[in-house]
């Protein structure tokens, strides 16, 4: 069974540009989560989808970040316009059930904003 996949693995962009990250969860997992780890800091929750609906987006830092999960399968996280402080590793995770079940993480996308 394929795990959670993320694309791209690395992205280097200039401040002001737009970047779109993609996450493909494990097939059949209704729950999809985005996290990010800014350089040297802890991993922080961004948001949680249940199928195509945003269950909790309390961790989204500001309105430059837009997450979608049309059709309830893969998800995209768009940063527009990107700022220097957005640099970090963006992780996606999925789980079959919510309610604190184990989440399976993807390899992450390393974003560098210059």
Partner 1 sequence: SQQGEEDPQALSIQEGENATMNCSYKTSINNLQWYRQNSGRGLVHLILIRSNEREKHSGRLRVTLDTSKKSSSLLITASRAADTASYFCATAPYNNNDMRFGAGTRLTVKP
The residues that touch partner 1, with contacts defined as CB under 8 A, are 4, 6, 31, 33, 35, 40-45, 48, 55-56, 58-59, 91, 93, 98-100, 102-108
Query: Which lies closer to partner 1 via its Cβ, residue 61 or residue 81?
Result: 61
Query: Which lies closer to partner 1 via its Cβ, residue 15 or residue 54?
Result: 54
Task: Please give the helix or strand (H or E) that residue 36 lies within, else none.
Answer: strand 31-38
Smallest distance from partner 1 to CB 5, Å: 10
Distance (Å, whole) CA 54 – CA 33: 10
Task: Calculate the alpha carbon distances from 61 to 27, 66, 78 in Å.
Answer: 28, 10, 12
Smallest distance from partner 1 to CB 16, Å: 27
Smallest distance from partner 1 to CB 12, Å: 15
Query: Which lies closer to partner 1 via its Cβ, residue 56 or residue 81?
Result: 56
Task: Residue 34: name the closest of 93, 109, 83 by CA.
Answer: 93
Q: Exposed (0-12), middle (13-18) or buried (19+): which is 42, by Cβ within 10 Å? A: exposed
């Amino acid at each position: 069974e394929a795990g959670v996949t993320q694309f791209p693995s690395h992205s280097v962009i200039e401040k002001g540009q737009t970047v779109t990250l993609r996450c493909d969860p494990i097939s059949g997992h209704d729950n999809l989560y985005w996290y990010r780890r800014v350089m040297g800091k802890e991993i922080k929750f961004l948001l949680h989808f249940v199928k195509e609906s945003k269950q909790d987006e309390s961790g989204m830092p500001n309105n430059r970040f837009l997450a979608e999960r049309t059709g309830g399968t893969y998800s995209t996280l768009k940063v527009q316009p990107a700022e220097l402080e957005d640099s970090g590793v963006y992780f996606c995770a999925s789980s079959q059930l919510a309610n604190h079940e184990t989440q399976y993480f993807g390899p992450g996308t390393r974003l560098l904003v210059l």
